[in-house]
Amino acid sequence: MAASLFQDVPLKAKVVGWGIIFIPLVVLLLLAAIFLRPEPINQRLVWGCYVAANAPPLDIREDAIYIIEPARRKFSYIAEPSKTSYQLNVRPALLLKRMPTGHYQFLSTRGIGFFWPLLPAPGKNRDRMRHPEEYAGRIQIAADGGGVVYSRKSDADACRQ
């Protein structure tokens, strides 16, 4: 029978030893949870008209995101921080699917919603924003066969219908 490494150590010494190890770790985790929270993002930052090649324009307003198409569908969203960046939490789940014509179309799919990453300017942290001020008016939407990047246009002609 093998002898335990701490067999002759009194219980009080074991408790003190484990306390010396775990109390600082718990304090570090609490401090990280308090001070490393991402800054909230103002929803106004994402408002505007967004376009992408071969995809229907999106008009992001205070109340909803409108797809500029004959059906004029809309869906809700929340601009929020994620674990590593910032994103739009959109509902219901609409999949951007490439049609045989080469154009994209939003189709209803199963699920409660999707997360669309907000992107910084090209060449800055690639696809990750560390602060809301880095937002460059670009949104990435997952699509079959890759992702489609929507860019905000200063003139909203594409969203007038």
pTM for this one?
0.75
Tell me the average pLDDT of the chain.
84
Q: Check the CA dihedral 75-142-58-129 and report its sign.
A: positive
CB-based contact 49:61 (threshold 8 Å): no
CA–CA distances in Å: residue 154 to residues 32, 131, 143, 151: 39, 22, 25, 10
Which pLDDT tens digit goes with each residue over 98-147? 889 888 988 877 777 788 899 988 876 666 788 888 888 999 988 876 78
Element housing 110 (H / E) = none
State the Rg of the chain over Cα: 24
Q: Are 119 and 107 in contact (CB under 8 A)?
A: no
- Is the bond leading into 40 cis (omega within 30 degrees of zero)? no
